[in-house]
Structure formats: structure tokens, C-alpha cells
Amino acid sequence: MIVMMWQALLGIRPMFAWWNRDFFWINRWHKWLGIGTIAMILIHPIAVVVAYGTSWLYAIMPDLSSSFEIWVSIGKIAFDLIIAVLLTSILSRRIMSFRVRWRVHLLVYPAFVMMRLHALQSGFMLSTNSLVYGYWIVIGMVLGVAMIVRLAYQWWWLKQKATILSHTLQTDDVYELQLQLPCAVDYTAGQFMYVQYPRGGESHPFTVLSYDNERQVMRIAYKAQGKRTKSLARLSGTSGQYMYVDGPYGRFTSDIVTSDRPVVCIAAGIGITPFYELVEQYVGSRDMKLLYMNRTSDTTPYKHDFDEQLADDCIHILSREREQTQENEIIGTRLTPAIIREQVGDWLPCAQFYICGSSSVIASVCDMLASLGVQQSYIDYEPFDM
């Protein structure tokens, strides 16, 4: 119950954002608590089999032969639901879409109610020990409040109702949303927002492209590649509708303020978004270089903007381009350690590297930098498929 309580509390993002905007550590704790929950829940049917000498099948399969067995079976069904939720959340990220995992995750709410009913009607310690009963009541109340808060947060609480000003196609399958926020937010370049559309639907993280604090207008760019983002892309050209946002979260590039080292940004495709405002803020005042990976020049989001701001310090690695049109283009190849060494030059041992892209891209670039002798402490990254 304690672990489930913390699982529920960790799902309330704004509660933790009041003192720490780095949401990735919350995700890591959520994962390990889930693993711990599986271990603890599995102990229960094992204990039943050992203590009562029953079969393994009895420990997990419902039995409706008597009123007592019905209450016991409610607990068994709750057990099965919790196992489904936890296994889906932890073990199936690579083979199951976010939407399916999110819907399975909703089973935790009926499972919680069933688990409480099961314990109340068939728990021996609850009926004989007042301290255990008091503990059960307190933890249940906290968990119940957490569930109510999470449901309220899913539908309206602690979210801003943002108006869509524009929604346009940029390049290939990359779209840009401009949102009018009702009030200002404390935003730092490189952070992300959770965007929900429609109300009560799934919330997805999108890195903020730029934010105008005076006008309270936020720009978000995304690539239409999954079911959710493709459905969002169908709103293209729509203005005046509403989305629900919360955040910003993350501390990806926050240490750039206190560091005086040269900055090297490495981005793949739509992974460029955290660097858009970062470059805009620090170009000219910091030693900065961008290595930008895409397929072709035509499919490179915001290519003109980065060329204009960074000039020759923006290096385009275009794997499927057949003809070089600019001096700052490297065509027909992917990023290699040799390209990094050549382009970064004397900055290599002292630069701060920021990487954004898919998990596979990040792993590959980190291996390249390690092979070039770059210290791990000089590498920061944010997986775009968090």
C-alpha cells in the first residue's frame, strides 16, 4: 500500500514541480517503485500457497463458490489487474504504443477499489488488530486523495487552457503550434511542456521551441510519426481551439548559465527543438557549434534559422543528400567520430556537449564522444522519446 501510494503521488507532476523541474528523476523513481511493487505483490499469493497449502491456480484464479470466496476473488482480480498495469508500464515500452499502455494503466483505479474491498472483508489482521486497522485507514485515505487529485488533474486542475493561434506544416512531417497561454510561465530554454488534446485525453511531452514572455505565446514543434502526433497534425491550420498544457519541466541545458566552456549541440531531426531558443539567446556571447543530422536539406526543420544565426558554426550532416549546396553541409554520410573531431577541433577536450534525439541516436553519439576521450561529466542529453 505504501508503494502504491507513492506511485500515485509521483504521477501528480505539478506537485513535484513546485521545488524541482527535473521530471526525469521522477520517471526513474516511478519505474523502480513499479518494480518494487511487482515484487511485493507477488509475495502475497506465494504466502497464501505456503500458509494454507493451496494450489498456485487457486492463488490467482477467482472462485465464486461461497460469499467468503467471492471477497477473496475480488482481491485476486485486483492482483491480476495490478500485475497487468505494472508489466505493461515497465516491460512493454518497446512493443506497445503509449496509447495502449496509458489505457491499461487506467485499470489501477478499479484495482485500488477492489483491493480495499477485499482487505476489508477478508483481512484477518484488520479485524483483530486496531493498530493495523488504523494504519490501513490512514494509508487508504492518502491513496484515495491521491487518486482523486490525479483524476482532477487529468481533466482540468493545474493546467492552463491555451488557445491555438496557428498550426502549420514546416518541413516534410514537422508541424509547429503557436499557443496563447492565459498567464506567464517561468520558462528556461530547453524545457518541455505536457500538452493535452482534447480535455481528458492523453498528455504528451513536447519540447518548447520558443517562448515570448511579454505576449505569453509559446511555440512547439513536433514530428507526426505516431498515432497521437498524426491525429494532432490533422488540426493543421486550425486556430481558436483549445489545448491544455502544464509545465514547463526539465533542466536539460540549465547549467549553461554557470559554465564558461564552449557549447556543442548535437541534434537529430526534430531533436533540434531544445536548441532553438538556446542558440537565439547565446549566439555571439558564447563559443557555440551545432552538429545537425537529417536526411536531406529539404527535410531539415528550421534550417534557414540556424544557418542565419550560426553561419559556418552550424554543420548539417545530411545522410541522403546527393548534392552539396552550402559549405556547411556534409552529405551522403551519418555522423562519425571523424566528423566530430574535425568540426569540434580544439574544443573537443573542454566543450560541454548537449545531445537530443532518439535513444538510439543518443547512445551512438555518447559512444562516439567516449571514443574521442570526452569526459562523461561533459555530456548532457535528453531522449526525445522519453
For the stretch 151-160, pLDDT in tens is 777 676 778 8
In angstroms, how far is the first alpha carbon of the chain from the final one?
Answer: 27
- Show the cell assigned to 112: 485500488
Look up residue 73 and give its amino acid. S
Interatomic CA distance for residues 368 and 262, integer angstroms: 18
Per the CB < 8 A criterion, the answer to whether 203 and 196 are in contact is yes
- In the block, cell 491550420 appears at 237
- The candidate with the shortest Cα–Cα distance to 380, out of 254, 244, 223, is 254
Residue 317, pLDDT > 90, answer yes
Domains identified in the chain and CATH numbers: 2-155 (no CATH), 160-249 (2.40.30.10), 258-383 (3.40.50.80)
pLDDT bin (cut points 50, 70, 90) of residue 324 is confident
Reply yes or no: is the peptide bond before residue 248 cis, omega within 30 of 0.
yes
User: Mean per-residue pLDDT for 34-62?
Assistant: 75
Residue 295 main-chain phi, psi, to 5 deg? -80, -55
Of 334 and 159, more confident = 334
What contacts 240, CB < 8 A, 6 or more positions away? 163, 164
Residues 249-265 have pLDDT tens digits of 887 877 776 778 899 99
> 3-state class of 205 per DSSP?
strand
Question: How far does CA 221 lie from the centroid of its chain?
Answer: 16
User: Mean per-residue pLDDT for 269-298?
Assistant: 88
pLDDT bin (cut points 50, 70, 90) of residue 126 is low
Interatomic CA distance for residues 353 and 374, integer angstroms: 9
pLDDT bin (cut points 50, 70, 90) of residue 196 is confident
- The candidate with the shortest Cα–Cα distance to 321, out of 288, 344, 298, 337, is 298
- Show the cell assigned to 345: 577541433
Of 52 and 1, more confident = 52
